[in-house]
Amino acid sequence: LFAAVAMAPRDPILGLNEQFNADPNPNKVNLGVGVYYDDNGKLPLLACVAAAEAQMLAAPKARGYLPIDGIAAYDQAVQGLVFGADSDVVKNKRVATVQALGGTGGLKVGADFLKRLNPSAKVLISDPSWENHRALFTNAGFTVETYPYYDAANRGIHFDGMLAALKAAPAGTIVVLHACCHNPTGYDLTSAQWEQVVEAVKTAGLVPFLDMAYQGFGEGIAEDGAVIRQFLAAGLDFFVSTSFSKSFSLYGERVGALSVVCSTAEETTKVLSQLKIVIRTNYSNPPTHGAQVVATVLSTPALRAQWEEELGGMRVRIRQMREALVQELKAAGITEDLSFVTRQKGMFSYSGLSVEQMQRLRSEFGVYGVDSGRICVAALNSKNIKAVAAAIAAVKKA
Ligand code: PLP
Ligand code: TYF
């Protein structure tokens, strides 16, 4: 039965973890996968999460099946966070929100629904993008192409190229946009640029799909979510996938959502019924624990305030690491302008290092980044930063 099965390629990022774990170098540093570690190099368990779990444990509940679209209070909390609880679309019941298995699950439910809705549409993702965007939409049956995004020469965004590609796309084309903290480059659009993107999407009749996996890691919860308000203001129908993997440090619980903004409450009811079919035929209904934790935190004022503070702490530490990296590289004799590192947002920095340099970082120094030059600055800390900077400086000089 399986004799003809070919070996599938490893995930380029998750595969690096295996290589890292097998490396005996005691000074190894993993800047590959996008995970936030604290200054001690530990994966944090947020205090707000522990408090919500203690509360849940004090009044344990039986675990029946959840509704297909998940915990109602959770879906409501997601809408409040993403769109604002008193936004017109939420008040007028124009958003269908379903609990999903992480941000990936939200993307997949959306992709499967879109395939039923408009089977011949193409999907455009940024060049470059999170690798799984291409794989996920391809496996959902779409042809996936790219719009220009990264401008290596200017260390920024090739905005003219991006806009031209959107304007030239046929009506109905699905455009996947990173709402904030672009993975992998770290370069985000300004709100003036977003305004032009919204206009182009509207004029060309494209279907925007905003992937929000890092809300709160860039400038702040509201600031990072501002792009949503811009799409709302334009009166567009659009998709938003949400992930709490990073913002709650709940990676393994698989907590995310999909929200679809529709034109009327009646449309929303119909869209929700279709999303439920996608879910029912894939995994029936979502798991309870992680979503209950997030719903508890978001709807309990004291826990919510604690979450915002802890998320702010992660955001500030990442910024400090960006600044420290620039300083340490200068101290190690690198004279080129590295200010781009502090202009980038979120967990990642596109370092501009070549494949050869990234490979030397791994083999000679035990510093693991992605071959594309992407490093996870959220894994830097006060103990490893000097060694990482020295390693980068060494491969840049020779
Ligand atoms: N979208 C982007 C851009 C990401 O970087 C990630 C990272 O994991 C995801 C989606 C998926 O998030 P999750 O782990 O919640 O599925
Ligand atoms: O880009 C990253 O590193 C994160 C984590 O298949 C990740 O988004 C990477 C690869 C993957 C799933 C998650």
Please choose, from the candidates 88, 100, 97, 77, the residue with its C-alpha nearest in 3D space to the C-alpha of residue 272. 97
Atom of ligand 1 nearest to the CA of 254: 15
The label of the residue with tokens 């393994």 reads 252
Which residue among 132, 177, 244, 347 is best mutated to probe the pocket of ligand 1, counting the most ligand atoms within 8 A of its Cβ? 132
CA distance 267 to 95: 9
Average pLDDT over residues 227-237: 97
> How far away, in angstroms, is 257 Cα from ligand 2 center?
17
Which residues does the annotation mark as catalytic?
130, 211, 246
119 or 13, which is more confident: 119
286 lines ligand 1 (CB under 6 A): no
Q: What is the mean pLDDT of the chain?
A: 97
**How many C-beta neighbours within 10 Å does residue 171 have?**
10
pLDDT at residue 398 in the model:
77
**How many C-beta neighbours within 10 Å does residue 53 have?**
16
Contact 248, 297 (CB under 8 A): yes
Structure tokens given for 235? 């009166």
- H/E element holding 176? strand 174-178
183 lines ligand 1 (CB under 6 A): yes
Which residue among 17, 129, 130 is best mutated to probe the pocket of ligand 2, counting the most ligand atoms within 8 A of its Cβ? 130
79 lines ligand 1 (CB under 6 A): no
348 lines ligand 1 (CB under 6 A): no
> How far away, in angstroms, is 241 Cα from ligand 1 center?
9
256 lines ligand 1 (CB under 6 A): yes
104 lines ligand 1 (CB under 6 A): yes
Q: Sign of the C-alpha dihedral, residues 227, 178, 237, 292? A: negative
Structure tokens given for 373? 């030059």
pLDDT at residue 390 in the model:
96
pLDDT digits (tens, 9 = 90+) for 187-214: 999 999 999 999 999 999 999 999 999 9
Whole-model pTM?
0.97
Please choose, from the candidates 120, 311, 350, 94, the residue with its C-alpha nearest in 3D space to the C-alpha of residue 223. 311
Instruction: Give the bridge partners for 257, in sequence order.
Output: 99, 242
Ordered by where they begin, the domains of the chain are 14-44+312-397 (3.90.1150.10), 66-299 (3.40.640.10)
> How far away, in angstroms, is 183 Cα from ligand 2 center?
9
Could you give the percent of the chain with pLDDT greater than 90? 97
Average pLDDT over residues 154-162: 97
CA distance 44 to 379: 12
pLDDT at residue 10 in the model:
82
Structure tokens given for 41? 């190099």
CA distance 132 to 115: 17
pLDDT digits (tens, 9 = 90+) for 90-106: 999 999 999 999 999 99
